[in-house]
Amino acid sequence: MDKFEKLTGIAAPMPLVNIDTDMIIPKQFLKTIKRSGLGVNLFDEMRYDDNGNEIPDFVLNKPQYRDAEILVAGDNFGCGSSREHAPWALKDFGIKSVISTSFADIFYNNCFKNGILPIVLPKEAVNVLMKDAEKGSNARMTVDLENQVVTSSDGESFPFEVDSFKKHCLMNGFDDIGLTMEKAASIDAFETQASQSRPWV
């Protein structure tokens, strides 16, 4: 998993509330266990018409937002079923941070495990950032995980809270496996000692 320290990029505005995981990645795309290849189907039912053609008015189909790395969303983002494919699809598209007033718990935790930083901010702050995102590709937002602050293109800053353990994992690029491997030396030492003291096991 890539390290997340500081990100400056295009933010796409998505003011819809209650965007659930089926909207993020519809159920027909859940057959794969690969984390790659799902970005093309992110928000599939909003991005494409029945013939598979792009819907021009959808935000991520607009030229100024095709390279968006930040999503500014409405309340209760990621609700619905607990599918881990939702953060997989966001990450594969290129989204590295989602800003909202609230997230569904399971989706929120899955984001950290897959290298995405979900940020909870008060409604007033999200409104400011939403308007900033509406400026298009010339308005680049900065997400600074180390200092826990989001800065708009106009220089307005908003501090955010994040669990220290989750922050540690993101900044070091540790998923669950990486976190275990961080303790590899201690695990090896324990195994060596155990095999010497209990050779019959």
Distance in angstroms (rounded) separating the CA atoms of residues 61 and 10: 14
CB 48 within 8 A of CB 135: no
Distance in angstroms (rounded) separating the CA atoms of residues 139 and 180: 39
Is 175 within the bounds of a domain?
Answer: yes
| CATH code, domain carrying 47 | 3.20.19.10
- Domain residues for the domain of 150 are 6-197
Structure tokens at 108: 């929120």
Is 1 within the bounds of a domain?
Answer: no
CB 175 within 8 A of CB 116: no
Is the pLDDT at 91 greater than 70? The verdict is yes
pLDDT value of position 71: 98
Is 173 within the bounds of a domain?
Answer: yes
Is 136 within the bounds of a domain?
Answer: yes
Distance in angstroms (rounded) separating the CA atoms of residues 34 and 21: 17
Task: Give tens-digit pLDDT for 132-189.
Answer: 999 998 889 999 999 999 999 999 999 999 999 999 999 999 876 555 556 656 766 6
pLDDT value of position 190: 64
Is the pLDDT at 56 greater than 80? The verdict is yes
The closest of 57, 58, 71 to 11, measured between CA atoms, is 71
Mean pLDDT is lowest, of 25-34, 99-108, 170-179, 187-196, for 187-196
Q: How confident is the model at residue 117 (pLDDT cuts 50, 70, 90)?
A: very high
pTM (2 d.p.): 0.87
Is 37 within the bounds of a domain?
Answer: yes
The number of domains in the chain is: 1
Distance in angstroms (rounded) separating the CA atoms of residues 183 and 195: 18
pLDDT value of position 181: 55
Place of tokens 């598979």: 52
The mean of the pLDDT values for the chain is: 91
Q: What is the pLDDT averaged over residues 116-137?
A: 97
